[in-house]
Amino acid sequence: MTGLHHVGLTVSDLDASIAFYSALLGCRVRERSQNSGDEIETVTGVAGASIVTADLEVPGGGLLELIQYVHPVTGQLRQERHQPGHTHLGFVVDSADAARERLARLGAGQISEAVTIVEPGSAWDGVRALYACDPDGRTIECLELP
């Protein structure tokens, strides 16, 4: 392997997720597509898969691939933050407090207070961080670097 290319997120509503990540982080849509057929079924392992996707450019670098399954449609995955297999995404923001306000305006769930991490000698020392949930309940972390 030579590096990380993108992070893919399965979402329930592509347009809502595009709006959320664009408003929170200033992401720009690079490309949208719709796919189905043998190659999508093979790569996903999902019989009859039909998807719509959007590639979002994250300011400062990185790419988020948002994927909505048009077929098959299933219920939302529910995991608690303490369960093995749960993931979160950490994004650098200019201000944790401003990000918290944006998250509240966007209707994000489970928004924590921003805290300053105290770990002398660690790269995390002085970082202000908060957790929240995106429209699908996925944990996101906003990090204000010292």
DSSP 49-70: -EEEEEEEEPTTS-EEEEEEEE
**Domain membership flag for residue 53:** yes
Judgement on whether residues 45 and 98 belong to the same structural domain of the protein = no
**Domain membership flag for residue 83:** no
**Domain membership flag for residue 76:** no
**Domain membership flag for residue 58:** yes
What does the pLDDT read at residue 78? 82
Judgement on whether residues 47 and 95 belong to the same structural domain of the protein = no
Judgement on whether residues 40 and 15 belong to the same structural domain of the protein = yes
Q: Does the pTM exceed 0.85?
A: yes
pLDDT band of residue 114 (cuts 50, 70, 90) is very high
Q: For 13-62, what is each residue's pLDDT tens digit?
A: 999 999 999 999 999 999 999 999 999 999 999 999 999 999 999 999 99
Judgement on whether residues 98 and 64 belong to the same structural domain of the protein = no
Judgement on whether residues 64 and 95 belong to the same structural domain of the protein = no
What does the pLDDT read at residue 77? 81
If one compares 83 and 100, the residue with the highest pLDDT of the two is 100
**Domain membership flag for residue 115:** yes
Question: In terms of residue numbers, what domain contains 92?
Answer: 88-144
pLDDT band of residue 80 (cuts 50, 70, 90) is confident
